[in-house]
Amino acid sequence: MTRKPLRACRALALATVLVLAAAPASAQSPGDIEAALKAAYSKYKDLKEGANADYIPALAKVDSNIYGIAVVTTDGKVYTVGDVTSEVSIQSISKVFTMARVMEEQGPQAIAENMGVDATGQVFNSIVAVEQYKGGEMNAMVNPGAITATSMIKGATAEEIWKTILGTYSDFAGRPLSVNQEVYKSEAETNQRNQAIAMLMYAYGHIKADPLRACDVYTRQCSVSVNAKDLAVMAATLANGGKNPVTGKQVMKAENVPEVLAVMATAGLYDDSGKWLFTTGLPAKSGVGGGILAVSPGKFGIAAIAPPLDKSGNSVKAQKAIADVSNALGGNPYAPKPK
Ligand code: GLN
């Protein structure tokens, strides 16, 4: 081979590398994403399985027909279908972002050491799970670990702590979020079980601040109002190494994202996390308000809202819709292509 073709060859190889590097983070075209969203939307629109959560009275009154899906790519493009303006309370999805904030302030090890990073095999508000290992060997996606994480946020007063929490969520969502006061009031009147959990976590030395204050701030964080697009932007921020792809703000350190995603993968859908991972491979988090968000690392964030839940407390339609869309777009990080 003469020198010239070799140089041409190198130039071609370099050009290919450059083209690949410049390609959008998601390998799918906008048309593919829109088609996947539309297909999942219409496939599950009329599904009637599940029921709204009713142990928090205000959640039983939410319109069961709300149904929207959103995908936000790591290059900041937003795709939506269905009802993406109606808001529901974020509920347990908030646990991800409070935990992320604690990791930001104290490092991921603080979470691993204080409440653990293992699945409980129990429902999200299990007291047995606390008793089993004296409040350890669990995770920040179930209530005992989550209320403990809230108690670890730095701040001299409840208001200061709350400002940090709401500010963090708003940065992830890329817009100022606020509390649904009706949901907050309703849960605050009926959260005796969570108060008991907080007291136990205090008794076992995991919560070091006022446990009832931690429980109240946790109740407020669960009442933050979000739509499907907000949740998808929050997920996309995690997919994009902690940098909100819509606002461009680095919301958390990229180095802490793997630990956040690992805890979500382990316990984001509670006792059904294994089934979920088996179907999608995606770290995800659900809330009893009917929202679920999921992260395809480096590619996209995806979220869906539909209030009726299955027995584990996960939205029936949102699980199905997210799984279909992600699988259609090659979102599963455990699905390498053979070389
Ligand atoms: N606020 C709810 C509770 O603590 C959150 C539960 C959930 O979304 N799974 O019970």
d(CA 274, CA 116): 18
Q: For residue 70, give every residue at least 6 positions away whose Cβ sits within 8 Å of its Cβ, in sequence order, or none.
A: 78, 79, 80, 81, 84, 228, 229, 231, 232, 302, 303, 304
Is residue 94 domain-resident?
A: yes
**Which one, of 276, 313, 292, lies nearest residue 69 by Cα?**
292
287 C-alpha to center of ligand 1: Å?
7
d(CA 129, CA 136): 9
Burial classification of residue 327, based on how many CB atoms lie within 10 Å of its CB (0-12 exposed, 13-18 middle, 19 or more buried): middle
Is residue 4 domain-resident?
A: no
**Which one, of 90, 105, 97, lies nearest residue 152 by Cα?**
105
**The pLDDT value given to residue 27:** 61
37 C-alpha to center of ligand 1: Å?
28
Is residue 11 domain-resident?
A: no
242 C-alpha to center of ligand 1: Å?
25
pTM across the whole model: 0.92
Residue to mutate (ligand 1; options 97, 130, 222; most atoms within 8 A of CB):
222
Q: What CATH number has the domain bearing residue 210?
A: 3.40.710.10
Q: For residue 212, give every residue at least 6 positions away whose Cβ sits within 8 Å of its Cβ, in sequence order, or none.
A: 195, 198, 199
Residue to mutate (ligand 1; options 89, 124, 141, 272; most atoms within 8 A of CB):
124
Give pLDDT < 70 ranges for the chain: 1-27
Is residue 97 domain-resident?
A: yes
**The pLDDT value given to residue 219:** 98
For ligand 1, residues with CB inside 6 Å are: 91-92, 124-125, 143, 187, 194, 222, 287-288, 313
Is residue 339 domain-resident?
A: no
pLDDT digits (tens, 9 = 90+) for 210-245: 999 999 999 999 999 999 999 999 999 999 999 999
Is residue 153 domain-resident?
A: yes
**The pLDDT value given to residue 75:** 97
Pairing of strands 284-286, 225-226: unpaired
CA angle 126, 234, 66 (to 5 degrees): 75
Task: Provide the domain limits for residue 231.
Answer: 26-329
Query: Which ligand 1 atom is nearest residue 287's CA?
Result: 8
Residue to mutate (ligand 1; options 91, 165, 314; most atoms within 8 A of CB):
91
Place of tokens 């994009």: 240
Is residue 338 domain-resident?
A: no
State the total domains in the chain.
1
Is residue 158 domain-resident?
A: yes
**The pLDDT value given to residue 28:** 81
Distances from the Cα of 44 to the Cα of 68, 143, 306, angstroms? 11, 30, 10
d(CA 122, CA 124): 6
Q: For residue 298, give every residue at least 6 positions away whose Cβ sits within 8 Å of its Cβ, in sequence order, or none.
A: 25, 74, 239, 240
